[in-house]
Amino acid sequence: MDIIKITDLVKKFPVGNGHFTALNQISLTFGEGEFAGFVGPSGSGKTTLLNIIGSLDTPTEGNAIVLDKSISELSHKQSAKLRNQHIGFIFQTYNLLPVYTVYENVEFALLLQNLSGSVRKKAVLEALEWVGLTDKIKSKPAQLSGGESQRVAIARAMVKKPKIVLADEPTANLDSKNSHNILQTMLKLNEELKTTFIFATHDEKVMKYLKRKISLADGKVVGDEMI
Amino acid sequence: MISFLLKGILRDRSRSLLPVIVVSLGVFLTIVMSAWIKGIFSEVIDMNAKFTTGHVKVMTRVYAENSNQMPLDLALLGVNELKQNLEKDYTDMEWVCRINFGGLLDVPDKNGETRAQGPAAGKAIDFFNNPKEVERMNIVKSIVDGTIPKKPGEAIISHEFAEKFGLGLGQKVTLFGSTMNGSMLFKTFTVCGTIRFGVTMLDRGAILIDISDAQLALDMENGSTEMLGFFNDGEYDKLKATEVVDAFNTKYSKQNDEFSPQMFRLEQQAGLEEYLAMAENMGGIMITFFIIAMSIVLWNTGLLGGLRRYTEYGIRLALGEEKKHIYMTMIYEAILIGIIGSIIGTVLGLGMSYYLQEVGVDFSDITKNINMMIPPIYRAAIYPDLFYIGFIPGLVAMTLGNALVR
Ligand SMILES: Nc1ncnc2c1ncn2[C@@H]1O[C@H](COP(=O)(O)OP(=O)(O)OP(=O)(O)O)[C@@H](O)[C@H]1O
Ligand SMILES: [Mg+2]
């Protein structure tokens, strides 16, 4: 069963008097447990497509159906709920909240759901165990290395056991050892929890791990291969 | 969520410190100024009550209309009976007669020739039989040399006057003027003391004598220009005073008899009513002013903070928080900061007000040339409203300042 179904998707951004077509007639489907990635040169539309799948943005034309919900028809409230319950994000710049501890950063993702303190605690500790950071729960983001920060971000994305995790250039700021480390972590989670991972990347290291590689160029899909 | 926000505020000094300081400062100023205004106004009122207006005052209807000219011929008569009646009707009040008179003070030389002369503002009170009056006007403490009058023919004169004309204790001064029935007043007193109230209006050419002396000299047997009533607990109570005044005027004051007595509340005299209304307005204007000023400052800091926290909004949006919810938490945050700032400002403000209440500031040099009755030392007064009044500008400004940003 498809958890993501994109048909004839077009995304245009207004620029000056006209508009710029960032995505052009994209049609794609994703099933449960995929480990896929958008690859392509800078400006090819990878981030734009991830944002639409993550309901942070909406299509101009066409359809994006994520977990049986049509992105263009969701209210603010509904799209927030979709993200909160089923979609995790991982960014290039980690994007941790600087004033909060590792533990609190991960817990934040759960605060919006009505969970009891003890359930939250269990989930947070479990997520930090997945990424091997149980000894840093009291640290602040500023005290972490880049690799550690990105692992916190993975824990934050995973703590709610989402169906989909969207990772935009997650390794761009990491050295190769750390890149491999977090990719292995994500691959393990993908296999254990059946979470669908979708990357946007031009990092060769990431591509080596991908099980499906979708090539974008100028807003079009120019290749889609299973590896 | 609230505890999460609170943690954020407490840890992120750059986000909270400036707003907290701004709010604290605004609240602090609001409270100190309120206490200050309250203190000044109540002191001015208290002083006016003690020296001129009483808590209530009885005059003849026609004297009341012309009281600034001190027209002795329009004074009250039969004051002893009136006093007895009042004492019977209002047992929790004290009633005293005073006479205000004007004239010319003449300082004779050894041969009885005029050596110097000056206008005199005279006040006659019950020195001989009523120590409370002496205390009420703070006379003993204000005396520079000598004592209060103890027997007929003795007078206290202003220290200023005495110095200017080289008058010493035991020397004679003569008071010229006209009596109640218009005949010539010519009466010599022995200086028994010199006085400085520290209030320009009272010190200028003052002469203080006993009321019995004045009644005799001014042909005012059983008369006085005014009768003052004071509540026994010393506190002015507008409601009670209004009751007393209404009851008295219905019973004694007659429309068609201009010599019938009429009673006035403290505020109904000497323009105090406007003065008090002003006090209340000033409080309101001040709070409004602080709200606006603080909002602008907070609005600006909010703008800066908002830019800095742009990524945070992005992250929280991605984590599935609704825009509206993020906005709400920003408002909560503002309220929390407002509360923290208001508490700090209130505590500091009350501390400062307490200091100003206990110590006060001496303004007598500045107010030297003002004709109104102004106390020489200003003190703040702490009153119950101060404990919450600061929260109004604190919270409103913080919330407004933040809401403006988005
Ligand atoms: N909000 C926007 N307004 C206007 N143009 C936009 C906007 N967002 C993206 N674009 C344009 O859309 C195109 C695709 O952008 P996108 O960020 O998806 O590229 P990308 O493939 O993620 O590139 P990179 O590898 O550099 O991250 C770019 O040319 C970009 O300038
Ligand atoms: Mg991108």
What is the per-residue pLDDT for A143?
A: 94
Quick check: is B209 in a domain? Answer: yes
- How many domains are there within chain A? 1
Query: For chain B, which residues score pLDDT lower than 70?
Result: 270, 301-308, 363-378, 402-406
Q: CA of B1: which chain A residue's CA is closest?
A: A111
Task: In whole angstroms, give the CA distance from residue B221 to residue B77.
Answer: 8
The reply to whether B294 and B391 lie within a common domain is yes
**Cβ(A176)–Cβ(A208) below 8 Å:** no
Q: What is the count of residue pairs from A and B with beta carbons less than 8 Å apart?
A: 60
What is the per-residue pLDDT for B244?
A: 92
Question: Cα(A33) to centroid of ligand 2, in Å?
Answer: 23
Measure in Å the smallest separation between the Cα of B312 and chain A Cα atoms. 7
Q: What are phi and psi of B228, to 5 degrees?
A: -100, 140
Tell me the mean pLDDT in the region A133-138: 92
What is the per-residue pLDDT for B368?
A: 55
Domain boundary among B235, B266, B294: B235
The reply to whether B327 and B298 lie within a common domain is yes
Tell me the mean pLDDT in the region A136-140: 93
Task: In whole angstroms, give the CA distance from residue B230 to residue B240.
Answer: 11
The reply to whether B79 and B204 lie within a common domain is yes
**Cβ(B327)–Cβ(B406) below 8 Å:** yes
The reply to whether B172 and B86 lie within a common domain is yes
Which tokens belong to A111?
Answer: 């605060």
Quick check: is B257 in a domain? Answer: no
Quick check: is B250 in a domain? Answer: no
The reply to whether B96 and B213 lie within a common domain is yes
Instruction: Name, in order, each residue with C-beta under 8 angstroms of B175's C-beta and a sequence gap of 6 or more.
Output: B103, B104, B105, B106, B120, B122, B185, B186, B187, B188, B189, B207, B217
Contacts of A98 in chain B (CB under 8 A): 12
What is the per-residue pLDDT for B361?
A: 74
Going by pLDDT thresholds of 50, 70 and 90, the confidence category of residue A83 is very high
Buried b (16+ CB within 10 A) or exposed e, B160-192: bbbeebebeeeeebbbebbbbeeeebebebebb
Question: Could you tell me the pTM of the whole model?
Answer: 0.68
User: What is the ipTM for the molecules in this complex?
Assistant: 0.85
Tell me the mean pLDDT in the region A206-223: 94
The reply to whether B82 and B42 lie within a common domain is no
**Cβ(A9)–Cβ(A61) below 8 Å:** yes
What is the per-residue pLDDT for B192?
A: 94
Of B231, B263, B242, the closest CA to residue B46 belongs to: B231
Partner residue opposite B320 with nearest CB, options A83, A97, A104: A83
A170 Cβ closer than 6 Å to some ligand 1 atom: no
Task: In whole angstroms, give the CA distance from residue B26 to residue B391.
Answer: 10
**Cβ(A216)–Cβ(A222) below 8 Å:** yes
Instruction: Flag whether residue B323 sits within 8 Å of chain A, measured between CB atoms.
Output: yes
Contacts of B314 in chain A (CB under 8 A): 95
Going by pLDDT thresholds of 50, 70 and 90, the confidence category of residue A196 is very high
Partner residue opposite B321 with nearest CB, options A80, A87, A98: A80
- Render pLDDT for A2-60 as a digit per residue (tens, 0 to 9): 899 999 999 999 998 899 999 999 999 999 999 999 999 999 999 999 999 999 999 99
Q: Look at the block and give the residue holding tokens 């291969």.
A: A225
Structural domain boundaries enclosing B129: 56-235
**Cβ(B192)–Cβ(B154) below 8 Å:** yes
The reply to whether B104 and B167 lie within a common domain is yes
A92 Cβ closer than 6 Å to some ligand 1 atom: no
Q: What are phi and psi of B391, to 5 degrees?
A: -70, -25
Task: In whole angstroms, give the CA distance from residue B263 to residue B63.
Answer: 12
**Cβ(B331)–Cβ(B402) below 8 Å:** yes
**Cβ(B165)–Cβ(B171) below 8 Å:** no
Buried b (16+ CB within 10 A) or exposed e, A144-155: bebbbbbbbbbb
**Cβ(B165)–Cβ(B115) below 8 Å:** yes
Quick check: is B248 in a domain? Answer: no
Say yes or no for a CB contact (<8 Å) between B312 and A97: yes
The reply to whether B20 and B73 lie within a common domain is no
Q: Look at the block and give the residue holding tokens 């100003």.
A: B356
Which one-letter DSSP state was computed for residue B183?
P
What is the per-residue pLDDT for B185?
A: 86
- How many domains are there within chain B? 2
What is the per-residue pLDDT for B364?
A: 62
The reply to whether B96 and B190 lie within a common domain is yes
Mean pLDDT of chain A: 93
Contacts of A89 in chain B (CB under 8 A): 318-319
Q: Tell me which amino acid residue B191 is.
A: V
Task: In whole angstroms, give the CA distance from residue B53 to residue B269.
Answer: 7
Contacts of B318 in chain A (CB under 8 A): 54, 56, 83, 89, 91, 95
A47 Cβ closer than 6 Å to some ligand 1 atom: yes
Render B87-98 in DSSP notation, one character per residue. HHH-TTEEEEEE
In sign, the C-alpha dihedral spanning B382, B384, B387, B389 is negative
Q: What are phi and psi of B333, to 5 degrees?
A: -60, -45
The reply to whether B162 and B302 lie within a common domain is no
- Render pLDDT for B114-123 as a digit per residue (tens, 0 to 9): 788 888 889 9
Quick check: is B92 in a domain? Answer: yes
A93 Cβ closer than 6 Å to some ligand 1 atom: no
Q: Hey, how many other C-beta atoms are within 10 angstroms of the C-beta on B147?
A: 13
Of B401, B395, B403, B399, the closest CA to residue B27 belongs to: B395
CATH code of the domain containing A25: 3.40.50.300
Closest-approaching ligand to the CA atom of A48: 1
Buried b (16+ CB within 10 A) or exposed e, B329-367: bbebbbbbbbebbbbbbbebbbebbeebbeebeeeeeeb
What is the per-residue pLDDT for B372?
A: 47
Task: In whole angstroms, give the CA distance from residue B320 to residue B357.
Answer: 54
The reply to whether B63 and B16 lie within a common domain is no
Residue B272 falls in which region: left (phi positive, over 0), alpha (psi -120 to 50) or beta: alpha
Which tokens belong to A60?
Answer: 């101009």
Quick check: is B33 in a domain? Answer: yes
Instruction: Name, in order, each residue with C-beta under 8 angstroms of B284's C-beta and a sequence gap of 6 or more.
Output: none
Say yes or no for a CB contact (<8 Å) between A84 and B319: yes
Domain boundary among B188, B212, B235: B235
The reply to whether B118 and B227 lie within a common domain is yes
Measure in Å the smallest separation between the Cα of B394 and chain A Cα atoms. 25
Buried b (16+ CB within 10 A) or exposed e, B263-281: bbbbbbbbebeeebeebee
What is the per-residue pLDDT for B371?
A: 47
